[in-house]
Amino acid sequence: MKCGLRQGDLLSSFLFIIVAEVLSKLSSNDLSNGLLEGCQFANGVKINHSQFANDTIIFAQPSVHELIRIKHILHTFFELPGLQMNAKTTLYGIHVSRVDMSSFLAIFNCKVGVFPLEYLGIPIGLSRDKIFM
């Protein structure tokens, strides 16, 4: 009990799931309360985050208001257990100008990513022609 958990410990994955659920609830509450817009699909379903294994993807509208709200959620989430964003944190923009991306990067202080990218072996951001070849 005094040593804590380390990566590879049998309880690490269970602890991660419990902690990740807090982030999911914080994000979902803001989405349902109208504080975040997230992404809306053609069928009307709205999402603002996806979690798989130890990765979290946050979907947001390209607005300073939305990103500041997300930063607040992340700050609350990280402050409770003493966590912090890691060096892999990357901001991707779809149909976002370079000027807007610069202001968004200033909010998060992270690196900018470019498309196409590969996530879990799946190419993301390729044109339809390349996907179906």
Q: Report pLDDT for 131.
A: 44
- The residue extents of the domains of the chain are 12-131
pLDDT in tens, 47-98: 899 888 778 888 998 899 999 999 999 888 888 777 777 788 888 888 888 8
- In terms of pTM, does the model score above 0.85? no
Dist. CA 62–CA 91, nearest whole Å: 11
pLDDT confidence bin for 125, thresholds 50/70/90: confident
58 Rama class: left (phi>0) / alpha (psi -120 to 50) / beta: beta
Tell me what the mean pLDDT of segment 103-113 comes to.
88
CB burial class (10 A; 0-12, 13-18, 19+) of residue 122? Answer: exposed
| pLDDT tens digits, one per residue of 8-42 | 777 777 877 888 888 889 999 999 998 999 888 88
Residue 65's pLDDT is 92
pLDDT classification of 128: cutoffs 50, 70, 90:
low
**129 has pLDDT over 60:** no
